[in-house]
Structure 1
Amino acid sequence: MRINKALAAAGVCSRRRADELVAAGRVTVNGTVVVEQGYKIDPTSALLAVDGVPVALTPADAAPLTLMHHKKAGVVTTASDPDGRPTVFDDLPEQWRSRRLFSVGRLDYFSEGLLLLTTDGELAFRLAHPRWHMPKWYQVAVRGRVTPQTLETMAAGMRLAEGEQLAPVRAQLVGRPADDRFVLELELKQGINRQIRRMCRDLDLTVLTLVRFALGPLSLGDLPQGRYRLLTPNESSALYGAVDLTPATGAAKPTP
């Protein structure tokens, strides 16, 4: 197996990033620094490390694994937390614990909804990369006053108080349970940290709940909070196709 594919399959990084790590002399095989692009290893016996940290390799015949998870509020998306808070990996079913899963992007501590966990570094890289513009949909309950001007400001592309210029956000009002409470549906194609909460802050809105209910071709559906499931074959095909990859192998689609 090529060393970049082995690192991506282990969830360390994308193949492209793996090539950069190799070129920088940060990868060792059986204790020896390897800088050759395309270097091949036996994943059943090689001792691979990045910056001296051992990498648990995935067998060559193991297909990439991707799960959908309904993250609960009050849970972090990292594998461990220095403050001891619960993580999205704490309740991972036993049959998937031996695989090196990591989260695709993040949902903050107070947010909930659709989160992908995968072993496929290339898939994760492409889902997060601006080139593929993977849309994400959120339902956000806010307290404050939402006016047509509020929605127009989001749609025009805001500049946050910290200075970041945002891409346009498609926004619509989908509910008003009380005079000072509104429910918005937002479509984002950008990944600025805590973007929705910071947008609402600058518009004098207080976020009460924030739920991501769709990502690209995937929908959370009726998956209960805290639960995990495998993607269906159709979902996997649609997700990989959306970022120009072939399901199961994680290989790039051939150029027509």
Structure 2
Amino acid sequence: MTVNEERLQKVIAQSGITSRRKAEQLILEGKVKVNGQVVTALGTKVSKNDQIEVNDVQLEKEAHVYYMLYKPRGVISSVSDDKGRKVVTDLLEGVTERVFPIGRLDYDTSGILLLTNDGDFAHHLMHPKYEVEKVYVAKLKGIPTKPELEKLRKGVKAEKDLLKAADYNVLSVDKTKNTMILEIKLREGKNRHVRRMMEQLGYPVMKLKREQYGMLTLTGLKPGKYRALTLKEVKQIRNLASEIVK
């Protein structure tokens, strides 16, 4: 492989249309062409002068962009919805690049959501071997005891998943309304992680917000608004990963 060549699946992922893992699957399925020829070998190297097609659509070489959105409740973390509901990309007025969300926040959850057209960057942040800390604030129905909250660190079994919190902090308790505001730190992100974890303890989440992603916070952003990440922030997020996945 020369200095100017890269693996085909990496180039596809970097185009923003899919993750590297999905790109590998597309190659194996014979859905990728290089200079008009179907390629099925994962070790294939390509240069910037090669023409690449995925599902008969030529890749567009687009500069990578990175955005942070303050996702409001009632918006889908997707680029489209078959039920016609509002999706996060509807909120990115003025963004011309074809971006997609990194991971997801539930329909009824608000807070930080990152979007990019850099599939390789997204793949790294979503890889289970990475441990970028995320901080959530949950309003709970009921007031858990200290021993019950300690179970969050050990892990709570929910179906086939063991749901853990890296740490937690009680922010406030309202005995009159029988509610608690709880800060929860995660280093993993399974489907509906916080909600399922608290439901197993018997304290349903009434309201949930992701307030921090790595070192990124919502400071200066209002619900439904977004901003571009700086190059320094993109580098910091990459460096927060616990180990590099080749």
Structure 1 length-normalised TM:
0.83
Work out whether 1:18 is the aligned partner of 2:23.
yes
Query: Is the Cα contact below 8 Å between 2:19 and 2:123 reproduced in 1?
Result: yes
In the alignment, residue 81 of structure 1 is paired with which amino acid? D
Cα distance in structure 2, aligned partners of 1:169 and 1:230: 28
Matched with 1:8 is 13
Query: Is the Cα contact below 8 Å between 2:13 and 2:119 reproduced in 1?
Result: yes
Cα distance in structure 1, aligned partners of 2:212 and 2:171: 16
Matched with 2:44 is 38
Matched with 1:86 is 86
Pick one of 46, 56, 61 that aligns with 1:58: 61
SS of 1:132's equivalent in the other structure is coil
Work out whether 1:186 is the aligned partner of 2:184.
yes
Runs (4+) off by over 4 Å: none
In the alignment, residue 211 of structure 2 is paired with which amino acid? F
Cα distance in structure 1, aligned partners of 2:65 and 2:172: 37
SS of 2:30's equivalent in the other structure is coil
Which structure 2 segments of 5+ residues have no match?
none
In the alignment, residue 58 of structure 1 is paired with which amino acid? K
1:25-174 map, 5 Å: 25-29=30-34, 31-36=36-41, 37-40=43-46, 42=48, 46=51, 48-49=53-54, 52=55, 54=57, 56-59=59-62, 62=63, 64-94=64-94, 96-97=95-96, 99-160=97-158, 162-174=159-171
SS of 1:4's equivalent in the other structure is helix
SS of 2:171's equivalent in the other structure is strand
Cα distance in structure 1, aligned partners of 2:151 and 2:138: 16
SS of 2:124's equivalent in the other structure is helix
Query: Is the Cα contact below 8 Å between 2:165 and 2:184 reproduced in 1?
Result: no
Cα distance in structure 2, aligned partners of 1:202 and 1:19: 37
Query: Is the Cα contact below 8 Å between 1:128 and 1:134 reproduced in 2?
Result: no
Cα distance in structure 2, aligned partners of 1:66 and 1:109: 22
Question: Which of 17-26 and 214-223 deviates more?
Answer: 17-26
Matched with 1:248 is none
Instruction: Give the drift of 1:243.
Output: 3.4
Higher strand residue share: 2
Structure 2 length-normalised TM:
0.86
Instruction: Give the drift of 1:104.
Output: 0.4
Query: Is the Cα contact below 8 Å between 1:9 and 1:58 reproduced in 2?
Result: no
Instruction: Give the drift of 1:168.
Output: 4.3
In the alignment, residue 167 of structure 2 is paired with which amino acid? R
SS of 1:159's equivalent in the other structure is strand
Instruction: Give the drift of 1:192.
Output: 1.3
How big is the alpha-carbon RMSD for the aligned residues of Structure 1 and Structure 2? Answer: 2.6
Matched with 1:224 is 222
Aligned pair in 2 of structure 1 residues 141, 55: CA closer, same or farther (>3 Å)?
Answer: farther
Instruction: Give the drift of 1:163.
Output: 3.3
Pick one of 166, 189, 206 that aligns with 1:208: 206
Aligned pair in 2 of structure 1 residues 244, 35: CA closer, same or farther (>3 Å)?
Answer: farther
Instruction: Give the drift of 1:114.
Output: 0.2
Cα distance in structure 1, aligned partners of 2:76 and 2:167: 27
Question: Which of 18-27 and 204-213 deviates more?
Answer: 18-27
Instruction: Give the drift of 1:200.
Output: 1.5
Aligned pair in 2 of structure 1 residues 9, 188: CA closer, same or farther (>3 Å)?
Answer: same
Query: Is the Cα contact below 8 Å between 1:156 and 1:169 reproduced in 2?
Result: no
Cα distance in structure 2, aligned partners of 1:53 and 1:145: 56
1:55-112 deviations in Å (ceiling 9; x for gaps): 54224xx2x2110000000000111111111000112122x22x12110000000000
Cα distance in structure 1, aligned partners of 2:45 and 2:51: 12
Query: Is the Cα contact below 8 Å between 1:139 and 1:212 reproduced in 2?
Result: yes
Aligned pair in 2 of structure 1 residues 16, 244: CA closer, same or farther (>3 Å)?
Answer: farther
Corresponding residue pairs, total: 239
Cα distance in structure 2, aligned partners of 1:115 and 1:196: 16
Cα distance in structure 2, aligned partners of 1:168 and 1:140: 13
